[in-house]
Amino acid sequence: MDSGGRTDAEAAGHLDLARTRELFAASTDFSIGLEEEFALVDPETLELRHGFEDLYRACREDDLLAESAAGELIDAEIEIRSGRASTFAEAIERQRDRRVRLFALAEGLGLALAATGTHPWADYLDQRIIETPHYERLREELRWVAQRNNTWSLHVHVGVRDVDRAIAVCDRLRGLLPELLALSANSPFLDGHDTGLHSVRTEIFTRTFPRCGVHEPFRTWDAYADFVELLVRTGSIVEATQLWWSVRPHHAFGTVELRVCDAQTRGEESFALAALIAACIAQSAMDHDDGRLGEPMRQREVEENLWRAIRHGMDGKLIDFHRGEEVPTAAAVERLIAWTAPAREELGLEVSIPEANGAQRARAQLAGGAGIEEIYRGTVEETRRTYAPERVNY
C-alpha cells in the first residue's frame, strides 16, 4: 500500500490505457480537486521534522483526513486533498475543513506546518524517504534525485471529458506554465542563501526528475498512448504517476492536472491561484470546443519563458512570441485573467492577484535587513494564521 492509500497493483492498473480512455469518456467536465503540500517543521528551531508517520497515523483516525491526507516522498512532508468536488466553491469548503483538522493534529504532535516552495536551509542529505513499497522503489530507481527533492507545491485537478480533448488542453496549457509559475513563485531561498531565483523549487524538481518539466505537444491520445506504452514495454515506468510533467492527464481521475506552482504561504492566495488554474484549464477546453485553441507553443519558446519565470518571477518580462517582443510578466498574467473571463463567469471563479507574491515579499524583507531565519519564522506563522484561522477541537 502506498501512502496515498493505493496498492502497487492498483497504481500499476492505471497504466491500462483502454481503461483510462473509458475513465475520461465518463469524466465530468470541470469537476475540481485541490492538493496542497506542507513541510513539517519544529515550531521552535524551524528545522524539518521527521514526523510524517506520526501525523499520518493521527490523520487515519480522523473521518475526513483518513482519505485526504497523503505522503509525498520524504517524511517531513504531508499533503491534503479536497477530493473530487462538483464546483470550486465545494472544493474550497472541503479543503478549508481539512486544513483546520490537519493543523490541529499537527499542533497536538508538537509540529508546525509551513507552505513555501523550499525550506530555506534544510540539508537534503538529512531527509528520509517514506518507507512504503512505492517510495522505496522510487528511492532505488532515482537515488540522489529522490533524496534531493525536498520541495512543496500546489496541484489542481480539473475534469475534462474525452481523452483527445484532454491531450489538446494539456498541449495548450504548456504555453501558460510560465505565467502561472511566475505568479506562484515562493522559493527564493535555499541552503541558507538567497539564490537570486524566484522559484528555486522548479530548478530542483523539474530539472532533476525524469519525465518532468514540459513535454512536447502530443496532439492526439494515440500519440500519447504510444509513448506511454513504449515506456512500459521498455521498463521505464511501472505506474502512471511516474509521468511527472508539469501538466498531465491523470490516468486515475480523468482530470487534467497542473502541478507547476510553488506552495503558497497564504491560504487565500492558494485558493485564488487554484481558481486561476482551474479557469485556464476550463477555458482551454471551451476554446477547443469552439475551434479556437490554436497551435501549441513550440518547446523552445515555452522553455525560454519558463526560465524567465524561474529567475525573475513577477518582477521580470516574458516574450510574446506572436509579436516578437517582451512584455512585463504582470501584464502577461493580466492578459491571462482577461482571456479566462468566460470560464470564470461560467464556473463562478474569483481570481485576485496579490500586490506582491511570496518571493517578492520575502526578498523585500531581506532587502529591509531581515535575516532568512526571521523571514521563514514569519512565513510559518503566516501559514498557520491563514490556513487554519479557526481553533476547533475535534
Report domain extents, the chain.
8-387
d(CA 377, CA 110): 16
What cell was used for 314? 513577477
What pLDDT was estimated at residue 135?
77
What pLDDT was estimated at residue 15?
84
**Taking residues 337-350, what's their average pLDDT?**
97
Nearest to 124 by CA among 62, 219, 185, 190: 190
Confidence of residue 2 (pLDDT cuts 50, 70, 90): very low
Q: What is the pLDDT of residues 66-77, one digit of tens each?
A: 999 999 888 999
Q: Do residues 304 and 324 make contact, with C-beta atoms less than 8 angstroms apart?
A: no
Cα-based distances in Å from 268 to 105, 164, 303, 372: 21, 34, 29, 24
Mean pLDDT, the chain, integer: 93
What pLDDT was estimated at residue 344?
98
What pLDDT was estimated at residue 144?
84
Those residues with Cβ within 8 angstroms of residue 172's Cβ, 6 or more apart along the chain or in another chain: 284, 287, 288, 293, 294, 296
- Options 3.40.50.300, 3.30.70.270, 3.40.50.620, 3.30.590.20; which CATH number does 8-387 get? 3.30.590.20
Work out the burial of residue 322: count CB atoms within 10 Å of its CB; fewer than 13 is exposed, 13-18 middle, 19 or more buried: exposed
**Taking residues 240-267, what's their average pLDDT?**
96
What pLDDT was estimated at residue 332?
98
What pLDDT was estimated at residue 222?
97
**Taking residues 122-127, what's their average pLDDT?**
91
Q: Which uninterrupted H or E stretch holds 346?
A: helix 341-347
- With a cut of 50, say whether residue 11 has pLDDT above it: no
pLDDT over 70, % of the chain: 96
Q: Do residues 259 and 214 make contact, with C-beta atoms less than 8 angstroms apart?
A: no
What pLDDT was estimated at residue 164?
97
- With a cut of 60, say whether residue 1 has pLDDT above it: no
d(CA 45, CA 279): 39
**Taking residues 213-221, what's their average pLDDT?**
96
More confident residue, 221 or 129: 221
What pLDDT was estimated at residue 7?
44
What cell was used for 199? 522559484
Those residues with Cβ within 8 angstroms of residue 371's Cβ, 6 or more apart along the chain or in another chain: none
The full 3-state SS of 257-306, as one line of letters, equals: EEEEEECCCCHHHHHHHHHHHHHHHHHHHHHHHCCCCCCCCCHHHHHHHH
Q: What is the pLDDT of residues 74-102, one digit of tens each?
A: 899 999 999 999 999 999 999 999 999 99
**Taking residues 239-265, what's their average pLDDT?**
96
**Taking residues 254-260, what's their average pLDDT?**
98
**Taking residues 51-58, what's their average pLDDT?**
96
Give the E-state strand segments of 146-243 in sequence order. 153-159, 189-190, 193-194, 212-213
What pLDDT was estimated at residue 391?
52
Give the CB-side neighbour count of residue 125, counting CA atoms within 13 A: 1
Q: What is the pLDDT of residues 161-213, one digit of tens each?
A: 999 999 999 999 999 999 999 999 999 999 999 999 999 999 999 888 899 99
Confidence of residue 13 (pLDDT cuts 50, 70, 90): low
pTM of the model: 0.94
Q: Residue 137: phi, psi to the nearest 5?
A: -65, -40
What pLDDT was estimated at residue 27?
97
- With a cut of 90, say whether residue 392 has pLDDT above it: no
| Max Cα–Cα distance, the chain, nearest Å | 58
